[in-house]
Amino acid sequence: MSGRQRTAAELGVPEQFNAAAWFIDRHISEGRATKVAIECGDEHVTYGELAERVNRCGNALRDACGVERGDRVMLLLHDGPAFFYAFFGAIAVGAVPIPVNTLWKTADYRYVLADSGARVLIVSDALRPSVEAIPRAETPELRHVIVDSSGGTFDRLIAEARPTSGAAQTRHDSPAFWLYSSGSTGSPKGCVHLHHDMVVCATLFGIGILGIRESDRCFSVPKLFFAYGLGNAGYFPLAVGATSILWPGPPAAADVYAVIERHRPTLFFFVPTGYGMMLARDGDFDLSSIRLASSAGEALPPALYARFKARFGIDILDGIGSTEVLHTFISNRPGAIRAGSSGHLVDGYEARLLNDEGQPVAAGDLGSLYIRGDSICDGYWNQPEKTRQTFKDGWISTGDKYRQDADGFYWYGGRADDMLKVGGLWVSPMEVERVLMDHEAILECAVIGRTDADNLVKPMAFVVLREGFTGTSPLAAAIQAFVRSRLAEYKRPRWVEFLDNLPKTPTGKVQRFKLRAR
């Protein structure tokens, strides 16, 4: 076992604590009312304006929507100032915001609305069609749908609400917000995070590893609904009075470069797939404002690190985090980078590597990674059995295999299950296989991860066809389009290979290791 847990109390968080008051209202008394907190295109929001709008939003939820302490408020919002108003406004009045993936499909939103029992849904106008198709009978707890558009219901609610602070008297260990994490069966799990969790991550990683300070300007291409992005562009800059740069559009390399050159961030956050996209685009781009870059979500191949460093002269700190732990708990750091590794344990967390019998592995051997820290969620909503399997005595089973070298660097060794990390987001092979099996041409299928030219994992489907169908390139393309119509784009198989039979055990279980070896 290595490391030592630093509790929220040790970090100075009092028992009576409201995260919104600390991340938002505090800046007014500390003299930052006129400092820019958020830049999003042409829109600039100062800390004073942010505090007023957060308070208005909280009061609107409580007074106009009847939201009470503990009620859930689902946020289906593109990155923009409204996300901050809704997220911290709900927290301020003791409600529980639930940011959800804007890349999902209607079925995913139906599940989360029903599972969470959300009373209010705040949705970007462009995403409204994804939820309008959900019958209200399937979401009986939902009372209000608030649309964020120019002059829409969200703007009107904020304009009409009281601007005074109405922060609820919550405890540091009260539920503050949920984030849904994908599961091995494809059904998301609601991770219940507490008021002190963001402070712990901002202190241990944001300040402790990134050295974030008030003069920094943070640009995270991963969005705010993503646990990684929520820290990068959300509570990290708010923890120190820095500026958050938001881009609501897709993560195309041309747009990323344009935002960097226009807004001049000092801290830059992306995932390995994104760094590969940037490197694939030719051109002379000015990234000189960036003092440090960060990567997470999937392992960063050494070649990508070396190419980015050679082209732009910028170090990328690769690390590993999770929705359950909220942010990064193992990371490379300035002056201590070993390309291909996940780095060292972040100070304030504990780690252990155990074998299948629950005993510590020998030095240098591969083991299952367990983490303990005070930012770990309080469990999964409405899933007691899965909570018992994953969390025990303050430790979480990450599901990852790791080894630690003699210098303390951690090296990723794969997953303990079949889950895939694609572009920093989890993909369940079983979920993709269920959709594939609905295609008229498919008799059997299996999905695995395969690396692309940048050594990054993407889904690959092996397919056995029904009689009367022939494996052709047009059919493979049609199968990919079929999956894209049912699931988020990042879950689409990048390759489809046709087989006469799937390799199986005598009991009929697919032997995925043989497919991976092809």
| Contact assessment for residue 296 and residue 321, using Cβ atoms and an 8 Å cutoff | yes
Percent pLDDT > 70 in the chain is: 98
* Residue that the structure tokens 């006129």 belong to: 34
Q: Which two tokens stand for residue 14?
A: 């009092």
Identify which has the larger pLDDT, 430 or 476. 476
Question: 378: helix, coil or strand?
Answer: coil
State the pLDDT at residue 509: 66
Residue 11 has φ and ψ, to the nearest 5°, of -90, 5
pLDDT at residue 28 greater than cutoff 70: yes
Question: 105: helix, coil or strand?
Answer: coil
18-35+46-170 to CATH, choices 3.30.70.20, 1.10.3470.10, 3.40.50.980, 3.30.310.10: 3.40.50.980
State the pLDDT at residue 298: 81
Q: How far apart are CA 76 and CA 219, in angstroms?
A: 20
- This prediction has a pTM of 0.87
State the pLDDT at residue 415: 77
Question: 451: helix, coil or strand?
Answer: strand
Q: Which two tokens stand for residue 97?
A: 């915001």
Q: How far apart are CA 297 and CA 448, in angstroms?
A: 18
Q: Domain residue spans in the chain?
A: 1-14+197-419, 18-35+46-170, 428-516
Question: For 381-418, how does the pLDDT look when each residue is reduced to its tens digit (9 = 90+)?
Answer: 999 999 999 999 999 999 998 999 999 999 988 777 77
* Residue that the structure tokens 């943070």 belong to: 218
State the pLDDT at residue 116: 97
* Mean pLDDT, residues 223-233 taken together: 97
Q: How far apart are CA 102 and CA 169, in angstroms?
A: 31
Domain 428-516: assigned CATH number? 3.30.300.30
Question: For 115-127, how does the pLDDT look when each residue is reduced to its tens digit (9 = 90+)?
Answer: 999 999 999 999 9
State the pLDDT at residue 286: 98
Q: How far is CA 425 from CA 366, 380, 396, in A?
A: 24, 18, 19
Assess whether the region 1-14+197-419 and the region 18-35+46-170 belong to the same CATH fold. yes
| Contact assessment for residue 376 and residue 382, using Cβ atoms and an 8 Å cutoff | no
State the pLDDT at residue 414: 78
Architecture of the CATH domain 1-14+197-419: 3-Layer(aba) Sandwich (3.40)
Q: How far apart are CA 254 and CA 83, in angstroms?
A: 24
Q: Which two tokens stand for residue 102?
A: 């804007």
Q: Which two tokens stand for residue 193?
A: 């995070």
Q: Which of 240, 239, 189, 236 is nearest to 382 (CA)?
A: 189
Question: For 250-264, how does the pLDDT look when each residue is reduced to its tens digit (9 = 90+)?
Answer: 999 999 999 999 999
